[in-house]
Amino acid sequence: MRSMTNVTATDAWHKLADLKDGFRPDLRGWFAADPDRAKDLTLTAGDLHVDLSKNLLNEAVLGALVELADEVGLAAKRDAMLAGEHINTTEDRAVLHTALRRPKGDSLVVDGVDVVADVHATLEQVYAFARKVRSGEWTGVTGETITTVVNIGIGGSDLGPVMVYEALKPYADGPEVRFVSNIDPTDVHEKTRDLDPTRTLFIVASKTFTTLETMTNARMARDWFLAGLADAGVAADGAIAKHFAAVSTALDLVEEFGIDPANAFGFWNWVGGRYSVDSAVGTAVVVAIGPENFADFLDGFHQIDEHFASAPWRENVPALMGLLNVWYVNFFKASTHAVLPYAQYLHRFAAYLQQLTMESNGKGVKADGSPVDTETGEVFWGEPGTNGQHAFYQLIHQGTQLIPADFIAVATPAHPIKDGDVDVHELFLANFFAQTKALAFGKTAAEVREDGVAEDLVSAKVFPGNRPTTSIMAPALTPSVVGQLIALYEHITFTQGVVWGINSFDQWGVELGKVLAKQIVPAITGDASALADQDPSTRGLIEYYRAHRA
């Protein structure tokens, strides 16, 4: 295998290292010296208005980051991904989530198949299914309409659909959707306990259809469903076909489980789980918001794909945000990145991004198997503002670690509610603007003293400032904008992976735990020799469990 470029040996990397050496972040000074800074560093991608000006960058840094993109061949790698080359080398697969949102009539032939035609053929099946469930044409075993859909999946087969369902609640005029993911039986219990089985439809979503959690939950759901029918005296003949659908790349396993192949929607091994919400994995979302809104959602992704594919690096929002993340991770030793939506409907966005970014870029070897040359994947985390302000912002403002943060908000709220004369959305946005301002410009000791603060308290009340933020705004939280936000972070993640030389599309790091869990089951259930084979710590934990299990 061809050995890969060492990114730290590139000219651009040396340039960045030199720049960092003499770097004195001074957002106050930079804004004062350059009245056009905000204008020059505010970019547009689709409907997204992205202000990068409160980041720790100047023209020299920006120039070196753009050079870095060129030196690592970001354009060629992006084009290889978009063209369907097998850039996921450890699994020998194309990486084509961008094909999932290409418009009908486009064509992309990969490995001899027009993948866009396949995508639209499946979308039509999903849309037809969703229309029937939404209209009431689809009925359960007793002839009643479906009132609740339960999506059973985990990881990419859960986090995407649940995040988007929550984000687009104002558009959800179909049946209620619930999500079961955890193998903790509490999850399936809580999500089904008040449901009427005759009006419930399960969608089992699993790319592989072998995932322990999902298959266990699917079996528990089937048992719950059949027991419910028996209790109600309803015959079970043909009932599974009316109450279970599936989404998978393994349609043979779906059939083996007993789900009617007519209710099974496929996707392809070139769609990674964490990149799959825009495939049939989004079926539960389509049922909730309807095919037309889902089509707008896909169009939003496509707008950002087109931007990423064509905008010069200096104007390319995902590329610049990814390069900035590299600047912070590798030159400022930032080990985490906060994502702070000022939009309650995006309350699962950070959880979703955790899988997208950390399963993608949490790698210690490069795509050729050699060790990485520098730090990789930072921890992504976050909560909606303003809740986070009253919890962890203290550390972002005054802690000792640099935490770059993305603030996200929309201009028009879903619910324009007032508190007396006050438009509460304006109060909400005032907090967004205040926080990014405080983080950037801080408060000096002199300013603290001007407030008449006692000298012994001055240092505690100083805000150092120069804490980098990116502000992302959009007109409203529409299906298209949600698609745009997801695609933005997909391409940010890709850009970082290219710079680090890693394969952002495999996830071998989740395998060992799965194998060990299977091996440990006998030790827990009482197999003495399996217990004896465990290390002393694990054995002790299992013994504690066995002694205390009521």
Ligand X SMILES: O=P(O)(O)OC[C@H]1O[C@](O)(CO)[C@@H](O)[C@@H]1O
Known catalytic residues are 359, 390, 514
The residue (of 206 and 325) whose beta carbon lies closer to ligand X is 206
The Cα–Cα gap between 21 and 2 comes to 33
Which residues, including other chains, have CB under 8 Å from residue 548's CB and lie 6 or more apart? none
The Cα–Cα gap between 242 and 263 comes to 9
- State the minimum distance, in angstroms, from the CB of residue 32 to ligand X: 47
| H-helix or E-strand spanning residue 180 | strand 176-180
Asked if residue 545 lies in contact with residue 524, where contact means CB atoms within 8 angstroms, the answer is yes
- State the minimum distance, in angstroms, from the CB of residue 507 to ligand X: 5
- State the minimum distance, in angstroms, from the CB of residue 205 to ligand X: 7
CA distances from 534 to 441, 522, 525, 529 (A): 54, 11, 14, 9
The Cα–Cα gap between 189 and 396 comes to 38
The residue (of 161 and 483) whose beta carbon lies closer to ligand X is 161
The Cα–Cα gap between 71 and 86 comes to 21
Give me the residues that bind ligand X (CB under 6 A), please: 154-157, 206-208, 211, 214, 273-274, 359, 507, 510
Q: How many CB atoms lie within 10 A of CB 199?
A: 17
CB closest to ligand X, residue no: 273
Place of tokens 């009925």: 139
The residue (of 170 and 362) whose beta carbon lies closer to ligand X is 362
- State the minimum distance, in angstroms, from the CB of residue 294 to ligand X: 19
* Maximum Cα interatomic distance, the chain, rounded to a whole number of Å: 80
The residue (of 69 and 281) whose beta carbon lies closer to ligand X is 281
389: left (phi over 0), alpha (psi -120 to 50) or beta: alpha
- What's the token pair of residue 18? 């030199």
Q: What is the DSSP letter of 509?
A: G
- State the minimum distance, in angstroms, from the CB of residue 191 to ligand X: 17
The residue (of 156 and 290) whose beta carbon lies closer to ligand X is 156
Angle of helix 479-500 relative to helix 317-326, nearest 10 degrees? 50
The residue (of 123 and 246) whose beta carbon lies closer to ligand X is 246
Q: Phi first, then psi: what are they for 93, rounded to 5°?
A: -130, 150
The residue (of 267 and 407) whose beta carbon lies closer to ligand X is 267
Asked if residue 408 lies in contact with residue 343, where contact means CB atoms within 8 angstroms, the answer is yes
- State the minimum distance, in angstroms, from the CB of residue 354 to ligand X: 12
- State the minimum distance, in angstroms, from the CB of residue 500 to ligand X: 19
Angle of helix 59-71 relative to helix 11-21, nearest 10 degrees? 160
The residue (of 359 and 406) whose beta carbon lies closer to ligand X is 359
- What's the token pair of residue 510? 């989740």
**Which residue type occupies 295?**
A
Bond into 200 cis (ω within 30): no
- State the minimum distance, in angstroms, from the CB of residue 359 to ligand X: 6
Q: Estimate to the nearest angstrom the gap between the alpha carbon of 320 and the chain centroid.
A: 19
Q: Phi first, then psi: what are they for 269, rounded to 5°?
A: -70, -5
Asked if residue 264 lies in contact with residue 255, where contact means CB atoms within 8 angstroms, the answer is yes
